[in-house]
Copies of this chain bind each other. A is one copy, B any other.
Amino acid sequence: MSADDVTVHPDRLLPADPSVRAIARELYGEMSGQGIVSPHGHVDPRLLLDDEPFRDPTSMFLTPDHYVTRLLHARGADLADLGVGRGPLDEGDARAAWRILAENWHAFAGTPVRFWLEDEFSRVFGIDHPLTPGTADAVYDTIATALPTPALRPRALFESFGIQVLATTDDPCDDLSAHAALAADSTLPGRVLPTFRPDRYLEPLRPDFVSLTDALGAAAGEDTGDYDGYIRALEARRRHFVEHGAVSADHSHADVGSTPLALDEARRIYREAREGAVREADATALRRHMLFEMARMSSEDGLVMTLHPGVHRDHHPASRERFGHDIGADIPRPISYVDDLAPLLAAFGTDPRFRIVLFTIDETAFSRELAPLAGFYPSVYVGAPWWFIDAPDAILRFRRAVSETVGYSRTSGFIDDTRAFCSIPARHDMARRLDAHHLACLVAEHRMSIGDAARIARTLPTEQPSHVFRLDGASA
């Protein structure tokens, strides 16, 4: 096997210059042995509760991962042939989909998707030569053969990955029974926490707003026929989440407008929304008011607020109709944080019980808006790069954009935000290597001492996110 065939190099992502790389190796060594704290992601808790073996390579790595399917789609594949929008594929279709991946594998060179998958293939299955059309079936067979073994079941992987905390993302109406069952199970060597994700209950323009708020009322035991009951219901569901270990509430709207309304005005718009007669501008105003209300509730119940804004969802309507949401057709767009968040931060920005993590896919916000906000408000932290910019060069740009204004202590720690359970260690490892890379460059240019860099490196993997998300037991 030639060197070109080895996919996973021990120094991958570290600086090329030998003397800088030596520093980076030392700093990476401070991080590589630490466990994984994942305060925000999209793994289904039932994966760990049921602990069923993964079905096949395609359903494990390809079909559910829109990072993978979107580029295959762009290169001409039909999403249906990749299993999107279908039930489980039979063996023939699953293998055919896998071959499509192999035929296009070369086009993933330079993307984090390929980095993560090659890390997973190597880490979990011992495969460290590239996927090609010629090796597609052999790789498929190697994975398929290994999947039923006990060591590759979800809970065994959870343990071998060293996951200490894993937060899921959950509907406010979820009874959280899966989380309760996991919490009651002392054999799981780590915590699985729910996250309150109320977005769709806060969008009065949705055609299903009445049925959603009805369901919310039913779950909470409140009458959501009017605004006051709606607020009580949200508060009750948040309490339910807090009681089940939730530490944060996540929000993803088109913008981060947060101007509060007078109570009468909020009541009127809510009533009109329930009657199906809300005007668009009013609906937007109520949604922005509700973001303010969510901050108010966070300042009371201590759930860390996380914002993931600025995405044009379902950009291609025909694909949404055919395949549903979350199929890779969500596209970022620029938004404004500073003016839009001013009302919310004026009210809660220095409240010691309040905490908010601001994420962006618009990199320009890092140095211009997010770092300056987090460098003044005690409640504000800069979220790690997310989604499209959760990638090596973008992560280095992030550190270089924010560190000069806020250092490291005002950032969130790495957030994997993933649905792909097996990619969690690869993603965290990538972030650690890049933080080592970044810090080593500062040390080599005499901009930071090796002692300071090592101290920072030690805090980044677990201490920093544990602090930001109050996982260390600090009260709200």
Contacts and interface: CB of A to CB of B under 8 A. Distances in A.
Contacts of A380: 74
A110 B16 contact: no
B334 A364 contact: yes
A279 interface: no
A439 to B, nearest CB: 8
A376 B441 contact: no
Contacts of A452: 4, 106, 109
Question: How many of chain A's residues touch chain B, expressed as a range?
Answer: 35 or more
B376 A405 contact: no
Interface stretch (A5-13, A137-145, A416-424): A5-13
Nearest to A347: B318
B392 A404 contact: yes
Contacts of A371: 388
Interface stretch (A170-178, A185-193, A289-297, A325-333): A325-333
B407 A71 contact: yes
A391 B407 contact: no
Contacts of A372: 331-332, 388
A127 to B, nearest CB: 15
Interface stretch (A25-33, A53-61, A199-207, A443-451): A443-451
How many of these chains are in the complex?
A: 3
A112 interface: yes
A76 B380 CA distance: 11
Given A346-B318, A350-B318, A363-B368, A375 B70 contact: yes
A237 interface: no
B407 A315 contact: no
A48 B437 CA distance: 45
A364 B366 CA distance: 11
A441 B16 contact: yes
Nearest to A403: B110
A15 interface: yes
A463 interface: no
Interface in A423-476: 441-442, 444-453, 455-456
Contacts of A368: 332-334, 361-364, 388
A390 to B, nearest CB: 9
Interface in A195-243: none
Interface stretch (A37-45, A94-102, A244-252, A335-343): A335-343
Contacts of A35: none
A394 B404 contact: yes
6 nearest A-B residue pairs (beta carbon): A391-B404, A16-B444, A9-B446, A12-B446, A4-B451, A109-B452
